[in-house]
Amino acid sequence: MPSMPHRIDASEFEIERFPKGAIEHCFIRLFALPGWGAVEVPVVVARGRNPGPLLFTVAGIHGNEYEGMEAARHVIAELDPATMRGAFAVVLTANPFAYASRTRETPASVDGLNLARVFPGAPDGAPTHQLAATLLALVERTVGPEDLLLDLHSGTAEVAFATMVGYRSVEGAGRGRPEEAARHMGLPLLWEIPDAPGPLNAETARRSIPTIGAETTGRAGCRMDDVASYRQGLRNLLAWMGICPGWPMPVRDDRKAQTTVDLLAPTTGFLRVETELLAPVAEGERIGVVLDPFGNPLAEVHSPVGGAIWAARETPYVDAGDLIFMIGVA
C-alpha cells in the first residue's frame, strides 16, 4: 500500500530519495503565493527495485483536461514496484489554480494565463509564470537523456480532438528517442508537433529532454474510451522502456507521422460545421460556413490542405481568430 502523502519542497525532489520497490504519494511545494499559501502539486512516484529509465508524466497543465489524470491513476494501481526497473513518476494536476476552478487556464482571479503558453516562465513573474518556471526546473533536474517526458492533454471545452501522440525532435544523446517512444505508445494518430513558443513540451525538447505529448477528445469531460486509450498508451510506454518487464511489448507504429495545420475562425458568428472528426478532406474543400443569426453566410471555411479532420469545433458560436479546425496533413 502507498504511504500517506507527505510534503516536500521542489528543491528536495529526487527520484533516488524515494524507496525502492514502493509507490509513494507526495505533494511538492513549488512556491508560496500571498493569499493562497504554498502552491503544491500532487505527485506519485513508483520506483522499482532495479535500476532503469524514468517515465515522467505530466497531467493537468490545463485544469479541466481529466483523461490523463485518470489514466495515470489506473496504471499506478496496476504496477508491481517489486518487479519494476527504473521509475514511473506522475504530476497529477500540474496547474492547481486551474484544476480548482475547473478551467483550462488559470482563473482571472489569479492571473488568467494559459500555463501551456508561458513556459519557460519566470521565477519572479505572475503566478502562472512562477508555476511554469518551477515545474520546468523540476523536470530539467529529474529527466535525463535515457528517460522520457510525457505531457498529457485533451481538447478544449469547445473543440474536440482526435486521440493522437506527438513528438518533437531533440538534439543530443536523446536524439531519435521521442519519435520511437511516440511510435510505441500506440495511439490512433501519429503527429509531428510543429514548434511553437509556450508549451512545457516545447521547452523540454529545446533542452534536449526526450519529450512526447498526447491529445484526446476533451471538451472538459472524461470519456471512458479516451481514458482507456491513455491507459493503454502508458502501459505500452512502460513496457517499451523496460520499466515494467512483464507487460506485453507494444508493436511499433511504422506509419508516416503527420504534421498539422490550424484553421482559425475568419469572422465572428455561428459556425456551421460541414464535416466531422477524422473525416478525410480535400485541398480547397469547404468544411464550414460562418452565419449571421438569420443564417446568412458571413464567411466560408475551406481546408488549405488535403488530409483529415484531427480537431473540430463543437460549440458553434465563435469569435474571429478562435481555433475551429486542426487538419492532419496527408
62 part of the interface to Zn ion, by CB under 5 A: yes
Q: What per-residue string of b and e applies to 44-53 under the rule 16 or more CB within 10 Å gives b?
A: bbbbbeeebb
Instruction: Report DSSP state, residue 305.
Output: S
Q: How far is CA 43 from CA 57, 91, 194, in A?
A: 10, 5, 29
Nearer to Zn ion, 129 or 153 (CB): 153
Q: How far is the CB of 195 from Zn ion (least distance, A)?
A: 17
Smallest separation, CB 156 to Zn ion (Å): 8
Q: How far apart are CA 322 and CA 148, in angstroms?
A: 32
The answer to whether the beta carbons of residues 112 and 105 sit under 8 Å apart is: yes
Residue appearing with cell numbers 490512433: 188
Rank residues 13 and 99 by Cβ distance to Zn ion and give the closer one: 99
Stretch that binds Zn ion, among 135-143, 145-153, 205-213, 313-321 (CB under 5 A): 145-153
Q: Which is nearer to Zn ion, 62 or 235 (CB)?
A: 62
For Zn ion, which is the closer residue by CB, 134 or 154?
154
Alpha helices in 207-298 (DSSP H): 224-240
| Residue 116: CB minimum distance to Zn ion, A | 6
- Candidates 25-33, 58-66, 158-166, 191-199 — which segment interacts with Zn ion by CB under 5 A? 58-66
10/59 with CB nearer Zn ion? 59
Stretch that binds Zn ion, among 60-68, 127-135, 169-177, 223-231 (CB under 5 A): 60-68
Per rule CB under 5 A, is residue 153 in the interface with Zn ion?
Answer: yes
Q: What is d(CA 14, CA 154) in angstroms, rounded to the nearest whole number? A: 28
The span of 62-70, 127-135, 199-207, 274-282 binding Zn ion (CB under 5 A) equals 62-70
214 vs 238, which CB is nearer to Zn ion? 214
Give the CA distances from residue 249 to residues 115, 182, 242, 243, in Å, rounded to whole numbers and listed in that order: 34, 14, 9, 11
- From the list 8-16, 152-160, 282-290, 308-316, the region that binds Zn ion by CB under 5 A is 152-160
Of the candidate spans 61-69, 131-139, 140-148, 316-324, the one that interacts with Zn ion by CB under 5 A turns out to be: 61-69
Cell of 154: 485533451
Nearest approach in angstroms of CB 114 to Zn ion is 9
Binding mask 200-219 for Zn ion (x = CB under 5 A): --------------------
Residues 223 and 90: their CA atoms lie apart, in Å, by 20
* Residues near Zn ion (CB under 5 A), total: 3
* Beta carbon nearer to Zn ion, 48 or 63: 63
- For 119-142, the three-class secondary structure string (H helix, E strand, C coil) is CCCCCCCCHHHHHHHHHHHHHHHH
Nearer to Zn ion, 62 or 219 (CB): 62
Which amino acid, residue 186?
G
Least distance in angstroms from the C-beta of 284 to Zn ion: 30
In the bound complex, what is the minimum distance in angstroms from residue 99's beta carbon to Zn ion?
A: 12
Residue nearest to Zn ion (CB): 153
Name the minimum Å distance from CB 128 to Zn ion: 14
Give the shortest CB-43-to-Zn ion separation in angstroms: 19
The gap between the terminal CA atoms of the chain, to the nearest Å, is 48
**CB-based contacts of 72, cutoff 8 Å, min separation 6:** 44, 57, 59, 90, 92, 152, 230, 234
Helix (H) or strand (E) run with residue 51 in it: strand 50-59
Are 289 and 249 in contact, with CB atoms under 8 Å apart? no
| Residue ranges binding Zn ion (CB under 5 A) | 62, 65, 153
